[in-house]
Structure 1
Amino acid sequence: MSEFINNREKRQEKLKMLIKKLHDGASVEDVKSEFDTLTTGISAVEITEMEQALVNEGMPVEEIQRLCDVHAAVFKGSIEDIHKEDSISFEGFDEGHPVHTFKKENRKIESVLEEVLNYLSEYTADPTQVKLDKLKFSLIKLSTIDFHYKRKENLLFPYMEKYNITAPPQVMWGVDDEIRADLKKAIELVSLEMKEIPKINEVTRKAVASIGEMIFKEEEIMFPMVLEKFSQSEWIEIEKASAEIGYTLLPVVKRWLPKVTNIETHSKEVVVNTVVTSTDVTNTDEDIVINRIKKDSQTLIPFDAGSLTSMEVNAILNTIPFDMTFVDANDRVKYFTQGKERVFDRPITIIGREVKHCHPPKSVHIVEKIVEDLKSGKKEHEDFWIKMGEQFVYIRYFAVRNKSGEFLGTLEITQNIKPIIELEGEKRLMSN
């Protein structure tokens, strides 16, 4: 066993050295020739451990992100050879399972990638308006990949972090954002009155190549990793939250509702996992759960002015016309409202997640600075306002303190204020 661990550690060190060579400017071919001597036993897990080790040693995530496509080019051949015999059969999953849905989307995405390249070649050879319109329509279809990436970032990444897999999600999120930006740029270029055909060709092909590499990374690296780690109840939570975010190029997605029989018992309280049929729990257990819920919803919670039941508090907070998210003093998401009008995605899976992992790598430093200033007392609030399509979004961060001044956490309030700033005159009568 010790010999196996030593060999693994040595290989890990050599792999890190190769990545550092790439970082220092070595060519892909130079590194690949060295890598060929280390192909025995290479797995997706080892690549992940290598990236995590580099981050732990202080290499910025942005540096690893910059090398991400090079990693894929170097490792792709060896991983594919191994997975020919040893890969997990994704096709064996029931329809509606999150992995099944992600893969189904990837097949649709691949067909659109092929369509984009065909229309691009036709347009660059003969730049007519009809061919340009076809290219633009295909790019717009492809831009719906945002839903695929949002589900990955907001539903899979929180559970990966739970299992201490933090570096790969950060790197992948950064690349996702680059793909989004390239697609947006490509659509802008084909919409300009003066068409820059070489630039359209360059940006579009870059986006297509990056998306293809991302599909490879998801299916050969990320999915095997998470299938090994996630429990069935976690997959159920992911599936439940998926529809709220949406899907890419799939008009209908079948619900996946497996039977869950496990019950977690904590002292005298019984907590039933997400999907449980009546045959899974005894009458006594059901009574305990139901009575506990009734009792909690009727207990009065005292406030500085008056008292409310937990049911009333929940209903009030979900009625207010803006989103609120509370991050505790340990920088973990503890609560968010669930009103009818949502500005940003807030799936239940972010509860307990470190706030820095809830944002793309390019904006993490801003979030950390905001929290640092609020904690220290340098600021009591920080405000931002941005245009998002038809919305004008006002984002405010407040330090939450008790009466003694102790910092309890950060409150984020987000609201589309466009209807407010467009108000004119006065309104003194009730609407009909």
Structure 2
Amino acid sequence: MSELINNHSQRRETLKQIIRDIHQNKNPQELKERFRELLSDVGATEIAALEQELIQEGLPATEIKSLCDVHVSVFQDSLDQQPKSQEQGGHPVHTFRKENQAIGRVVQAIRPILEQILSMNPDANLEHKLKDWQPLHQQLLEIEKHYSRKENILFAYLEKHGVSGPPKVMWAIQDDIRAQLKQISQALSNPSKGKKDLTALIQTTALPALQSIEDLIYKEENIMFPMSTETLTEGEWAAVAEQSNEIGYTLVKPDFGWIPTAPPEPPVDPGAFPVNQEHGKSVFQGLLPFHTGALTLEQISLIFNHLPVDITFVDEKDIVRYFSFGKERIFQRSKAIIGRNVQNCHPPDSVHIVTKIVGDFKSGLRDFAEFWIHMNGQFVYIQYFALRDPDGTYRGTIEVTQDIQRIQTLQGEKRIYSEE
């Protein structure tokens, strides 16, 4: 077996074959015994790379998800022996780990309550136990912020390094947990449920959800975070930390201490666009850079003209500077209004209203105004927003108009999965 360990390519192929054998229903414990020496030093990054390669070779991510726990059990001895990194407080991984500790405490507080409910007599009053469970479940719902930061920030930077398969598998598991927590929330909102219904909920949904959360914590701590630490640059971690505040945190606040030694990586992947270097800065050719991306002038025009709303922008001097030009317009506009004073673009009987709204925006009295009218078979919703720069200085007004007739008729849900 030692020759396999010393031959990198052969070692990699043998490890991949072990995972393939798992998917062929071969006994994981037998595989562990057979390849104990080889499995003794497999690291988190190598496991993630193996799964990535297998997905690229055609193994469905859904199948890897279904057997993810078996994969972990095969490699667990090696994972448990890995030294744990010690990030400074404030580093994103430190915050993720701190959240996991808090989440684990909530899970452990819920378990005995569920066990007590299961052991109670069929005619027992469950109200006091539900009151114990409900606030803890509300705390557990905060896990959404933990998952969202991974999906929308951490996974994005991993994908830049070609690591997309394992994040997709983890995202699917998180969606399963979300569905279970939603089902529990719906049940707890109906306190009249009897012992039989609660027993079924606990056994089929609540306890499996808690186990899935704990299993996912193990995968994060022993695979995802070590692999991420080895993969992301200091600048990328700085970007993860910077963007995390926008989503928020689960049950904790980040500590202080970590100061990145590199500036945050730009949110736009430089490799996706032609780049010039000017005065030490990256300049995206043909693109207008924004805080959250970069677009060409054509793309900006297409976006505005395809939004299901009409947009008009008036600058801080009350001059009309722009309007969108969608296919179906509610109020007619012509290019002749560009450069006109906004007061001159309204009927005389409504000019004083426009003047008052803009005046309130300039003075800071308010930042928003709205109106709705029935017109030509449409239900027209009109909104005005004050635009202010980061210093709070008034920079203009944006008018947004849309027909909400159909929106008002919507009922129930139509989820994206209904398109399948």
Matched position secondary structure for 2:279 = strand
For residues 307-349 of structure 1, the C-alpha deviation after alignment (integer angstroms, 9 at most, x for no partner) is: xxx9xx79x96xx897xxxxxxxxxxxxxxxxxxxxxxxxxxx
Query: When the two structures are aligned, how many residues end up with a matched partner?
Result: 289
With the length of structure 1 as denominator, give the TM-score of the two structures. 0.58
| Aligned mates of 2:21, 2:265 — CA distance in 1 | 50
| Percent of pairs with identical residues | 35
The answer (yes or no) to whether the contact 2:145–2:247 under 8 Å persists in 1 is yes
The residue type equivalent to 2:142 in the other structure is T
| Aligned mates of 1:116, 1:416 — CA distance in 2 | 47
| Aligned mates of 2:42, 2:30 — CA distance in 1 | 19
The residue that corresponds to 1:279 in the other structure is none
The answer (yes or no) to whether the contact 1:239–1:256 under 8 Å persists in 2 is no
The residue that corresponds to 1:130 in the other structure is 128
| Aligned mates of 2:233, 2:213 — CA distance in 1 | 28
The residue type equivalent to 2:79 in the other structure is I
Q: How does 1:297-316 map to 2 (within 5 A)?
A: none
For residues 137-190 of structure 1, the C-alpha deviation after alignment (integer angstroms, 9 at most, x for no partner) is: 212211221110110011011111111112111111111111111222233334
Q: Report whether the alignment pairs 1:30 with 2:16.
A: no
Measured after TM superposition, the shift of residue 261 of structure 1 is: 7.1
| Aligned mates of 2:260, 2:71 — CA distance in 1 | 37
Instruction: Specify whether residues 238 and 261 from structure 1 end up closer, same or farther in structure 2 by C-alpha distance, changes over 3 A only.
Output: closer
| Aligned mates of 1:302, 1:22 — CA distance in 2 | 51
The residue that corresponds to 1:121 in the other structure is 115
The answer (yes or no) to whether the contact 2:180–2:209 under 8 Å persists in 1 is yes
The residue type equivalent to 1:115 in the other structure is A
Measured after TM superposition, the shift of residue 254 of structure 1 is: 5.5
- Rg: which structure is higher? 2
The residue that corresponds to 2:356 in the other structure is none
The answer (yes or no) to whether the contact 1:263–1:271 under 8 Å persists in 2 is no
What is the RMSD of the two structures over their aligned residues, measured on CA atoms?
Answer: 3.8
Matched position secondary structure for 1:96 = coil
Instruction: Specify whether residues 19 and 259 from structure 1 end up closer, same or farther in structure 2 by C-alpha distance, changes over 3 A only.
Output: closer
For residues 375-417 of structure 1, the C-alpha deviation after alignment (integer angstroms, 9 at most, x for no partner) is: xxxxxxxxxxxxxxxxxxxxxxxxxxxxxxxxxxxxxxxx999
Measured after TM superposition, the shift of residue 106 of structure 1 is: 0.7
Measured after TM superposition, the shift of residue 111 of structure 1 is: 0.5
| Aligned mates of 1:218, 1:22 — CA distance in 2 | 21
The answer (yes or no) to whether the contact 1:190–1:200 under 8 Å persists in 2 is no
Measured after TM superposition, the shift of residue 123 of structure 1 is: 2.1
Instruction: Specify whether residues 263 and 73 from structure 1 end up closer, same or farther in structure 2 by C-alpha distance, changes over 3 A only.
Output: closer
| Aligned mates of 2:176, 2:112 — CA distance in 1 | 23
For residues 199-243 of structure 1, the C-alpha deviation after alignment (integer angstroms, 9 at most, x for no partner) is: 222221211111111111112111121212212221121111111
The residue that corresponds to 1:270 in the other structure is 279
The answer (yes or no) to whether the contact 2:90–2:256 under 8 Å persists in 1 is yes
For residues 242-262 of structure 1, the C-alpha deviation after alignment (integer angstroms, 9 at most, x for no partner) is: 111121112576696545479
The residue that corresponds to 1:360 in the other structure is none
The answer (yes or no) to whether the contact 1:96–1:255 under 8 Å persists in 2 is yes
Q: Report whether the alignment pairs 1:101 with 2:103.
A: no
| Aligned mates of 1:96, 1:194 — CA distance in 2 | 43
| Aligned mates of 1:33, 1:211 — CA distance in 2 | 28
Structure 1, unmatched stretches of 5+, are: 274-287, 294-300, 304-309, 323-414, 424-432
The residue that corresponds to 1:63 in the other structure is 63
| Aligned mates of 1:29, 1:268 — CA distance in 2 | 55
| Aligned mates of 1:21, 1:129 — CA distance in 2 | 49
Corresponding residue to 1:176 among 174, 177, 187 = 174
Q: Report whether the alignment pairs 1:235 with 2:237.
A: yes
Q: Report whether the alignment pairs 1:89 with 2:86.
A: yes
The answer (yes or no) to whether the contact 2:5–2:38 under 8 Å persists in 1 is no
| Aligned mates of 2:22, 2:222 — CA distance in 1 | 22
| Aligned mates of 1:259, 1:34 — CA distance in 2 | 45
Instruction: Specify whether residues 232 and 142 from structure 1 end up closer, same or farther in structure 2 by C-alpha distance, changes over 3 A only.
Output: same
| Aligned mates of 2:149, 2:128 — CA distance in 1 | 34
The answer (yes or no) to whether the contact 2:48–2:166 under 8 Å persists in 1 is yes
The residue that corresponds to 1:284 in the other structure is none
Instruction: Specify whether residues 55 and 210 from structure 1 end up closer, same or farther in structure 2 by C-alpha distance, changes over 3 A only.
Output: same
Matched position secondary structure for 1:208 = helix
The residue that corresponds to 1:198 in the other structure is 199
Structure 2, unmatched stretches of 5+, are: 267-274, 289-295, 310-400, 410-420
With the length of structure 2 as denominator, give the TM-score of the two structures. 0.60
The residue type equivalent to 2:153 in the other structure is L
The answer (yes or no) to whether the contact 2:62–2:169 under 8 Å persists in 1 is yes
The answer (yes or no) to whether the contact 1:69–1:210 under 8 Å persists in 2 is no
